Structure formats: C-alpha cells, structure tokens
Amino acid sequence: MENRENVKGIAARVAIWSARHRTLAILGWIVFVIATVVLSGQIGTHQADEGTAGHGDSGDADRIVAAAGFPEQPAGEMVLIQNRSSADRGAATAEVTRVLGTVTGVTGIQEPIPSPDGRSTLITFDIAGDPETSGERVAPALDAIARVQAAHPGLYIAEAGGASANKLQTEKLEDGLTRLGMLSIPVTLGILLVAFGAVVASFLPVLLAIMSVVAAIGLMAAASRFAPAVDETTHVMLLIGLAVGVDYCLFYIRRERDERRAGADPHRALMIAAQTSGRSIWISGLTVIVAMAGMFFTQDVVFVSFAAGTILVVATAVLGSLTVLPAVLSALGDRVDAIKIPGLYRRNSDGRVWNALLKVVLAKPLISALIAVAALGALAYPALDLKTRGQSIQDIAPSDPVVRAFVAIGEAFPTKNSPAQVVVEDDSVKSPEFQQALASFTTAVRQSGGKLAEPVTVEVNPAGNVAVVSVGLAGKESDSVAVDALKLLREDVVPDTFGRIGGATALVTGSTAGGVDYNAQLAKTLPMVFTFVLGLAFVLLLVSFRSVVVAVTGLLLNLLSVAACYGMLVFVFQYGNFEDQLGFVSGGGITNWIPMFLFVILFGLSMDYHVFVVSRIREGYDRGLPTREAVREGIGRTAGVITSAAVVMVAVFALFATLPLTATKELGIGLAAAVLLDATIVRAVLLPSVMALLGRANWWLPKWLGWLPEIAHEPPAPAGPVRAGDDRELTPVS
C-alpha cells in the first residue's frame, strides 16, 4: 500500500477520490446542479439597470435621472410620411392621424412636423402602459399604418419607435436563440460521433457541458448580487460553456481511451489521463478564468457581467471534468466505447494528414515559421485600421421594415432619433435663475450653425430639483458630425448657460454622449486589462512549464491569433464584405465592446490548445527524447483530439453568426475564425517550427528562478489498480 502523502497534484488527487467513491461523486454532481437551479429559482437574478450602467458624465446624468422619481414615460412611436412621387402627402397625413386615433392603446398623438427639405412629415405618439412590455401592444398600430401605406402606394409611410423596436428585437432574438438551441446540441453531438465513433463516448461531453452551463447559470443568480447581469450574459455563457465543457471532456476521454489502446489497464489509463489531460484542463481552465477576470478592470456593467458569467461557466466545466468525469469513466471502463458506429470507430486516433504536415514542418522549420508568420501577418494587417462604433438599430435585421423606417426617419429628421439631454440638478429648477439659463440655452442652440437643433423641451421631476432639457444633435448618433455637436454642447453651450447657476450640476447624456463616454472608459482601462491578462498568463505558464521561453512564445502565439482575428473582423464587418451572405449592414467599424471581449476570450481559449499540446511535448522531453522528437511525438499524438476540439468550437461559435444582431455575428465569426487559425496554422505549423528551431532553449530557466516548483509531465509509473473501497493508491506525479 502506498502512502497517501505521496499523492501529488490536484487533478490526480481528485481523480483517485472520484474513482474510489464514484457513486458519491456522480450523485454529488447531480445534486450540485439541481441545487443551483433551485437557488436561482428562489433568489432570482439581479438585472443591471440605469443605476448601475454608464460612464463619465452621461453615466452620472443617467443615475441622477433614475433617482429623481420621474413618472414612467410610455414608449414613443413615430410615423414617417414621405414623398417618393407626386402623390398628395397632406391627405395621407390626415388619414394617419385619424386612423391612429381609433387604435386601442395609442395616446398622445402630436401635430404633424414637416421636415426641413419639405419632402417628409413626422407624426409622433405613445403606446400606453409599461414601456418594457410595449412591444406586446404595438402590433395594432403597425397594422393600421400598413393599411394606410397600402392605400397610398405613391408615398412611403412607415412606423418606428421604442415599442416597435422592442417588438422587433424580442421576436428576432427569440427566433434566433430558438434556432441556436435546436442546432447547437445536435451539431456538437454529430461532430463528437465522428470523432469518437462511439455513442456513449460522444454523449458524455455534451451531457456534462450542458449540466455545467445549467449549474453556472444557477450560480449567476447569486453572483448577480455583486455583478448585476445583462441580458447577453446567458447567451455568452452558453457559447463559452458548451465549447469549453465539451473540449475539456474530449481531452480527458481521448487520453484515457488512447492509454487503454496502448495496453494500460482501466485504472492506470484513468490515472494517466488525470495526470496529463486532467492537469492540462486544470491549468488551462485557470488561465481562462484569469483572462476573463481582466474584464473586471473595465468597471463596465456589461463586461463585469460577462466576466462573472464566463468565470462561473468555465469553473463549473473544470469542476465537472475533474470530478464526475473520472467517476463515470471508472464506472464505465471499456464500456465508454459502447455502441460503436461502423466506419467511424478507429483504434488508432493519430491523424495521418497532420503527421504528414508535421514531417514537412520539422524538416524545414525556418521556412515553415516564416510562411506561417507571413500568413497570419497578412490576415492581421487590416486590424491596423480597426475602428469601433456603438450599436444602432441597423444592427438588428437591417432589411426589416421597422429598421428601414428608423433609417429613413434619421435621414429626414436627424435630431429625432437620438437627441441629447442636459440633466440639471439644483435645489430648485423652477427658479428665475434656471429660466434665464434656459432662455440663454435656447438662444445658443439657434446660433449654433445647425449643430444643435430645436425644439428644446424641458421635463421637471415632481420634487422640482431635476430638469431634463432635450435638444437635437446634428449628424447620426455616433458619426463625426454628432460627436462635434456634442463637443460644442458640453464644452461651450452648457457651461455658458446652465453651468452658471450657482451650486447646480449640469451634465449631458443621450446615446451619442453615452457612446463617447463608453469609448473613453474602454480606452482608459484597456492597458490595465492587457497588462493583467498577459502578466498572469505568463506567470501561470512559467510555473507550469518552468520555462521562460515557453511562457513568452505562448503569449506571442496567442497574440498573433488575436491580431489575425481582428484583421478578419475589420475585413468583413468594417469594410462590409459578405454583407449579403451574413445578413448585416456595415456601420464602418466594429461594435465597441467586441475587441476587448474577443481578446480576453480568445487569449483564454487559446491556452487550452497551447497547454494541452506543450504538456504532451514536455512529457516526451521528460522521458529523455530530444526536443524535435518530443515535438513530433507530442503534436502527432494530439493532432486528432486538437482537430476534434477545434471543429466543435468552430461549429458552436459559427452558429452564433446566425443570430440577428451584428454584434453576435462579429462574436461568432471572430471566435470561429480565431480558433480555426489557432488549431491549424499556429499549433500545427508555427508552434512546432519555433520549438524545433529553439531546441533545448525551449526549456531555459534562469538560475534565480530555480525555486519554482518542479512539475513532472511524464505519466506515472505502473501500479496496481484502485478499486472502489480499496486502500491502495496510485502515486501520480504532480
């Protein structure tokens, strides 16, 4: 019997315990998942609101308004009546006003407003009731306007607004997510069936990944007390959880099967899998979590929610892979290969194509490295022109009639879609001093040379200490014209008018202001995020492999993958290539939160492959193989599992490109392309060629870092089997 104190390594310790107490481990995992669901149902999830979002002056202004007790405003709608022929616009305008008056739930119909060019008329009205649910009640108004349009084919008559946008977004997202849910699991399962060639082995990763996502979503209810959730968090958790959960299980199961085929008994095969793949899962999972934690530095409610959600889903995926999976594999034994699929089940999982490519790469490592770097550099080149932008209504189904109406209204009445609001807080905003400042403000608007536009409207809260002054901005939401108008408003007009009220606070908010402040916050926090992620990832790799060179090359290879991903996003979404095929309209930039989010996600996910492959290479090196032979063996033996894992990730991520939002298309395409590049050019060409060129230098560690812990990567020596209830233990290497 071996001493328990000789057992080292978290993954091996957990696997030994799970194998000896497999019933308890399996039931414990099931109870854990059920408990998280119950917890979520009992305490609910806190959602982010105006009081927790926003940055800079616009964020402060929004928080003042949220706390001021303004009566809830109904959702506003607009009807555009526009000449596109010689038809009579006046009769149609009168008919629209009359018809809207007969529609249930329509209130506050305003007088028609002519456009500056005289070609258009705008009628505004409200949908009564809670604005959050207004999308459920706007259909009668949309139907009524559609009938008026049919009766006046010579005119363009269309409706858009908060309620119709709410309806559009809800319907499109629900349809997209339903389709995603119906496709993601079958697609993933189909890939695994091809990879494993056995039904049981294929179902295990999918089942555990789904349970990990469910558990993480349940835990997010508790985490939302500290990091309020945004709507997109659940979608991101599904995206990351399904891909990572399947990959972790895939690594573990594939190694256990390979060892069995190499002649190891079931228990030794399981221990080797825990010792190698289990350890890689632990390290790569920790690296992913570290990368995700970098988003906390942004202090942005969306990124903080994403960070909390992705950390939870990765942590639960690691937990499931290291605890319940060894127990299930111990219970199944060789039955993990049950229900073999004829033609797909193979005893040898080594990839002939990858081994042939590897032979060429190792024969000409310098040329191979130069070709790979040149290819990645060409893909990354457009990233030098990367621009960011805020989200707009065109990011949701650009061909939809409501979206087209929004665009037409924005062109005919540029100040109506996104006016600016000046929030003034004082002891009293009903004083003569405020009225004088308001008069000066209105005069300044008229003298702004068209950068600011009337009408100037004022709304005062019941307490009389907060006023919201609305004014139109020239330009379109986030373009340079609108930003210049905002600058004039913030730096000149507001300080010279409301800013002169003694003791008052005057801040500018609105969609344009919010976008400018958001970008400023990201620019300020970006260096902290990059430093944190790169620094801690370097430390983790250094400690894991006791090599400065391996740590540095790991960071550089991952940065190359991210840069290539950025370049492809710019080429497609910023330059507008493949618009018809992907169903989007380019806004001249990448959605502002995408680059940072992709950096942390990709940097974390890339470490999966890097840690897994380099660990296998280090195994060979620790057994005494020369570095080039260790590279040949390590990459050759992991080619099949890396290919399968990459195909799973690419498929899951690509499915997100089918969602209607441009941001989710960017996310899906960016992640899919980056993982594909990482698993092919980077891991199959650049990594082996660089390691072959460096030789023994790969494992260089300065003497002053000799205190780092020794971590052996070679599988443990043979030992007797560990059966449930047996006192004997294997002695795995840490």
What would the DSSP string read from start to end of 596-650? HHHHHHHHHHHHHHHHHHHHHHHHHHHTT--HHHHHHHHHHHHHHHHHHHHHHHH
Helices and strands: H and E segment counts in the chain: 25, 11
The answer to whether the pTM exceeds 0.95 is no
pLDDT at position 310 is 92
pLDDT at position 124 is 92
pLDDT at position 717 is 46
pLDDT at position 507 is 94
Out of 228-242, 393-407, 558-572, 641-655, the most confident range is 558-572
pLDDT at position 25 is 93
Whether residue 663 is predicted with pLDDT greater than 80 in this model: the reply is yes
Mean pLDDT across the chain = 85
pLDDT at position 379 is 95
User: Which range (444-453, 485-494, 575-584, 635-644) has the least confidence?
Assistant: 635-644
pLDDT at position 109 is 92
pLDDT at position 724 is 41
Of 567, 558, 583, 577, nearest to 664 (Cα)? 583
Using the Cα atoms of residue 498, residue 500, residue 501 and residue 503 in order, give the sign of their dihedral.
positive
pLDDT at position 712 is 52
> In this structure, are residues 620 and 634 in contact, taking their beta carbons and an 8 Å threshold?
yes
pLDDT at position 417 is 61
Whether residue 351 is predicted with pLDDT greater than 80 in this model: the reply is no
Whether residue 5 is predicted with pLDDT greater than 50 in this model: the reply is no
Beta strands in 49-101, from DSSP E residues, in sequence order: 75-83
Q: Which CATH class is domain 419-509?
A: alpha beta
The rounded distance, in Å, linking the Cα atoms of 594 and 592 is 6
- The pLDDT of 139-167, averaged and rounded, is 91
pLDDT at position 390 is 78
pLDDT at position 99 is 93
The rounded distance, in Å, linking the Cα atoms of 392 and 661 is 10
Burial of 702 (0-12, 13-18, 19+ CB in 10 A): exposed
- The pLDDT of 613-628, averaged and rounded, is 85
Q: What are phi and psi of 459, to 5 degrees?
A: -130, 130
Q: What percent of the chain has pLDDT over 70?
A: 92
Chain CA centroid to CA 318, Å: 19
**CA 468-471-476 angle, 5° bins:** 125
> In this structure, are residues 533 and 600 in contact, taking their beta carbons and an 8 Å threshold?
yes
Whether residue 345 is predicted with pLDDT greater than 70 in this model: the reply is no
- The pLDDT of 182-192, averaged and rounded, is 83
User: Which range (25-39, 277-291, 460-474, 575-589) has the least confidence?
Assistant: 277-291
392 vs 227, residue with greater confidence:
227
pLDDT at position 734 is 31
The rounded distance, in Å, linking the Cα atoms of 143 and 159 is 10
pLDDT at position 7 is 46
- Joined together, the tokens standing for residue 481 give 């014209």
Q: What percent of the chain has pLDDT over 90?
A: 30
In a 3-state reduction of DSSP, which class is residue 388? strand
Q: Is 389 left (phi over 0), alpha (psi -120 to 50) or beta?
A: beta
* Predicted confidence band of residue 66 (pLDDT cuts 50, 70, 90): confident
pLDDT at position 81 is 93
Please state the domain extents for the chain: 419-509
